[in-house]
Amino acid sequence: MSIEGDEPVIQIEDEVDESSAPSSKRTKTSMAWEFFEKFFDDKGLPKAKCKNCDKIYMARDGGGTSNLIKHSLRCVGRGNGSSYPPLDQEKYREKISEVIVKHNYPFTFVEHEGIVDLLCFLHPDVKSISRNTAKSDVLKLYRKEKEKLKSYLESIPGKICLTSDLWSAINTNQYMVLTAHFVNRNWELEKKVLSFVHCPPPHNGFKLAEKLISLLKEWGLGLIAEGTYFHVRCGAHILNLIVHDGLKVIDGSLDKIRLCVKYIRGSEARKLKFASCLEQLSNVTSKQVRQDLPIRWNSTYLMLETAIGQREAFTLLSDIDPYFDCLSNEE
């Protein structure tokens, strides 16, 4: 046996309990331990020995196992160390960027020990990257795809229609989304999200128009139809306004139902109380209360539909919870 001198000393985490004796063993989860055996030398230092070629590495606590995996893939004793084709590092990093975007992974994904071990196991030439490099690669991919989409839009023979909407994040930040709708050369209707950007206040007509114009310039989309202003209001938005205007007739009862729903959803204890009331009833289909949203009239409809089916449970809850103000039978 020989100590490997030209390989860097690595550290292996979570393999040895410092408080235990050198002879004690813990479960080793890294795939590197399929090819390495751990032991302690005469000085009590942890070492890792290759099962194929008997090369020995230092194996201190607190490190990773990627170098062990790389050695196992190159190991002559394994018999297939040279069977891997050359790795295209640029293509590999582009694929990593696509995975991050498609699955909404954080940039730290590339630094997770399990992922690093897996990638090194699949190919010995894989070079680990940092979160900053991953971020840079994703932005590079975005710019590349943006240019491809620009070229595609320029090839569209007909007009491009645009829709915009505002979105609110959990932290109340507002975002504007700009979507292009068009018919391609095969007479298929397509839509592409062009921009999803932060839209700081104020959110008045002037500021929104200013933001929209800047996005159009960014994408190289100009005014067509000889400068004629062609605008169609959103039919779903108009319907939402009509329904909410009609709901003003029952505002009193509607507000009370909202308060009841909000009260039940306010804590886990109240939800459990309400669930126990529902279990006492055999004719209730929905087991959850619904909260409506002011921008979606159908959510108000679903809230009312669910509440009507649960009205007996509301009454039972008022009997066991003195703080719950239930609607009267007339309401």
Distance CA 75, CA 130 (A): 27
Given a contact cutoff of 8 angstroms between Cβ atoms, the answer to whether 261 and 303 are in contact is yes
Q: Please work out, in degrees rounded to the nearest 5, the angle formed at the alpha carbon of residue 308 by the alpha carbons of 303 and 312.
A: 125
- pLDDT exceeds cutoff 90 at 122: no
Q: Where in the chain is the domain with CATH 3.10.450?
A: 159-232
What is residue 225's predicted lDDT score, i.e. its pLDDT? 57
Mean pLDDT of the chain: 81
HEC readout, 286-321: CCCCCCCECCEHHHHHHHHHHHHHCHHHHHHHHHHC
Residues 6+ positions from 244 with CB-CB distance below 8 Å: 294, 297, 300
Q: Note the pLDDT tens digit of each residue in 276-287.
A: 999 888 777 777
Distance CA 173, CA 166 (A): 10
Q: Note the pLDDT tens digit of each residue in 9-32.
A: 334 333 334 334 444 444 556 667
Q: Note the pLDDT tens digit of each residue in 199-225.
A: 988 888 888 888 988 998 888 876 555
| 293 bridge partner residues | 296
Q: What is the DSSP string of 83-133?
A: -PPPP-HHHHHHHHHHHHHHHT--GGGGG-HHHHHHHHHH-TT-----HHH
> Mapping DSSP to helix (H, G, I), strand (E, B) and coil, where does residue 198 land?
strand
Given a contact cutoff of 8 angstroms between Cβ atoms, the answer to whether 239 and 297 are in contact is yes
For the ranges 41-45, 109-113, 235-239, the maximum mean pLDDT occurs at 109-113
The residue among 215, 221, 216 whose CA lies nearest residue 175 is 215
When comparing pLDDT for 245 and 295, which is higher?
A: 245
Given a contact cutoff of 8 angstroms between Cβ atoms, the answer to whether 44 and 54 are in contact is no
- pLDDT exceeds cutoff 80 at 181: yes
What is residue 18's predicted lDDT score, i.e. its pLDDT? 39
**Domain 159-232 carries which CATH code?**
3.10.450
> Mapping DSSP to helix (H, G, I), strand (E, B) and coil, where does residue 53 land?
coil
Sequence letter at residue 93: R
pLDDT-wise least confident of 182-186, 235-239, 320-324: 235-239
* Mean pLDDT, residues 305-320 taken together: 89
Structure tokens at 220: 């190289």
- pLDDT exceeds cutoff 60 at 43: yes
Helix (H) and strand (E) counts in the chain: 10, 8
Per-residue pLDDT band at 330 (split at 50, 70, 90): low
Distance CA 235, CA 232 (A): 8
- pLDDT exceeds cutoff 70 at 229: no
Given a contact cutoff of 8 angstroms between Cβ atoms, the answer to whether 179 and 163 are in contact is yes
Per-residue pLDDT band at 62 (split at 50, 70, 90): low
Residues 6+ positions from 77 with CB-CB distance below 8 Å: 50, 52, 53
What is residue 19's predicted lDDT score, i.e. its pLDDT? 39
Quick check: bond before 201 cis, omega within 30? no
